[in-house]
Chains A and B, each alone.
Chain A
Amino acid sequence: MYRTLQLGLSAAFLVTSSGCWSSDTVIFELALSGTAGDADLAVPVSLEAYYQSIGEGILETDIFFIDAFEVVASQPFSHTLSYPLEGGRGLFLFAWADQDQDGALCAPGVDDEPVGGLRIDQPTEQPLNNLMLTLDRLCISPDQLAAELQP
């Protein structure tokens, strides 16, 4: 009986101890610096970081939100982005100016909020310096702009 019990408990231990990390995420801190927008913008510029794509096969999806922060238009900015390495592919920076300060990009009836974007296909741990985000388009959604900027 005790030998059977010992074997059973050993099996239970093996089964229990075989479970390791349910998820193992690697994040690297990516230093971003540069400017966004023109001096004539009277409002802060919202910068949003996205993966260019996530998922595989039929579940592959364009752009996926990572982080957002605000910068002063035309002033040099620096920001440390926490970029999860295996969550998706590439990096897309989307910038927009909330002209009417309603917290929404181009709400119904608004069609003059400037936007701009930048694609970085293979970000590494190397800092991305001297980024220039020009807000030269009006009221385009991040996914649409990412698609338009695709080479």
Chain B
Amino acid sequence: MLVLLAPLLLIPAPALAADSTASFDWASASSRPGGWTASVHGGWPWSGLRAQVGLNQRLTLIGEVDTAVFVRFQPSAGLALLLVGKSKGRLSLEICAGGLIQGGVLAQQGPSASLRLRLAGRPAPVGPYLAVATRHTFLFHRTQTRQIGTEQADVTVRWEHRWSPSVQLGLTFAPKPHIGFDIGLDLNFVDVGVVALSLPGFHVGIHFGNPAPKARGS
């Protein structure tokens, strides 16, 4: 996937407008170089934290952790690639690696990777956003069988793949450049084919940061 996306880095980067807002940056997962945004969102069943910092005009570093009712945790980190950066809207693609840690009766954990496409309209002061994601998790199971008459256990390893796509649709509000809010609907389909039904959810988020840092030396 990274190889396929590499040619995109060769296309001249769109220059992000200096009058961006923390909410616009958050919704589009894109920040100007040195610009940063952090956010907290809470709702049902998903809540989480997210932080991002712009590396250059096209790449933004992202770290986030999402949790479903504080039983399922999905920490991940990665890069967002700005595909389209216009003053009225942005389109970006995130690639993240992370993990899944789920407690409770149906405990599971394993590494995961996700791909997320984000489309955001500039909040002026209200703007829409849409995020479509696909998350792939790998669960590794080890079975140790202690056989009769032997000291060493017979070890077998089995793995399975879990697919959890999601769609997020919402509105951002940017009353100030450095602070903003969003409300959204969360359609997270958890472990498709294993979990029969995933209920839709909602969230409210707050974003803050410095979307337009001053250039060095100025």
Contacts and interface: CB of A to CB of B under 8 A. Distances in A.
Interface of A: 1, 4-5, 8-9, 11-13, 15-29, 31, 59, 80, 82, 125, 127
Given A11-B77, A26-B146, 12 more contacts: A1-B55, A5-B55, A8-B77, A11-B63, A15-B75, A16-B99, A16-B111, A19-B110, A21-B141, A22-B139, A24-B141, A26-B144
Given A8-B63, A12-B77, A15-B75, A24 B142 contact: yes
Interface of B: 33, 53, 55-56, 61, 63, 75-79, 96-101, 105, 107-111, 139-148, 153
B203 to A, nearest CB: 22
Contacts of B143: 25-27
Nearest to B113: A16
A23 B76 contact: no
B145 A20 contact: no
A15 B74 CA distance: 10
A21 B97 CA distance: 17
Given A1-B56, A16-B111, A28-B145, A59 B77 contact: no
A29 B75 contact: no
Contacts of B78: 8, 12
A103 to B, nearest CB: 29
13 contacts: A1-B33, A4-B53, A5-B55, A8-B61, A8-B78, A11-B77, A12-B76, A19-B111, A20-B109, A22-B110, A25-B141, A26-B153, A82-B145
